[in-house]
């Protein structure tokens, strides 16, 4: 069982609300990622970080933002949620050591925007 946590697990909110999805890991991993996954579809990378104060946008255009102030914490924020943001959001982390590239995923946050 990976030591990576996400809260909340489920969230239902109205359009226009600001939300923050929390992700934390206790494995000391430098690399962290946010993915978006719709039912039956592949994971799409929306943000990643190599370490503290490092954040980059991923392949899928996203209106969300992230921050990496501490190694263990990688929150994702939506300033104004819209129904199109309804999806599952998965956080992951991995070690930077060569050969230790396996990503460990959190349980995910299922977001429903009404």
Partner 1 sequence: KNQVEQSPQSLIILEGKNCTLQCNYTVSPFSNLRWYKQDTGRGPVSLTIMTFSENTKSNRRYTATLDADTKQSSLHITASQLSDSASYICVVSDRGSTLGRLYFGRGTQLTVWP
**Binding footprint of partner 1 on the chain (CB under 8 A):** 2, 4, 6, 40-45, 48, 90-92, 101-108, 110
Pick between residue 73 and residue 107 the one whose CB is nearest to partner 1. 107
Closest CA to 77 of 23, 18, 13, 25: 18
Pick between residue 10 and residue 16 the one whose CB is nearest to partner 1. 10
Q: In sequence order, what E strands does 9-106 have?
A: 10-13, 19-25, 31-37, 44-51, 54-57, 65-66, 76-78, 87-94, 104-105
Least separation in angstroms between residue 42's CB and partner 1 is 4
How many CB atoms are located within 10 Å of the residue 75 CB? Answer: 17
Pick between residue 17 and residue 43 the one whose CB is nearest to partner 1. 43
Least separation in angstroms between residue 43's CB and partner 1 is 5
């Amino acid at each position: 069982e990976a030591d990576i946590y996400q809260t909340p697990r489920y969230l239902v909110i109205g359009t226009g609300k600001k939300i923050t999805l929390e992700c934390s890991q206790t494995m000391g991993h430098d690399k962290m990622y946010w993915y978006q996954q719709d039912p039956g579809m592949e994971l799409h990378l929306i943000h990643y970080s190599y370490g503290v104060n490092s954040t980059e946008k991923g392949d899928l255009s996203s209106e969300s933002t992230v921050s990496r102030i501490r190694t263990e914490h990688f929150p994702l924020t939506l300033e104004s949620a819209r129904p199109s943001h309804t999806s599952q959001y998965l956080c992951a982390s991995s070690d930077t050591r060569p050969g230790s590239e396996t990503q460990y995923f959190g349980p995910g946050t299922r977001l429903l925007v009404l």
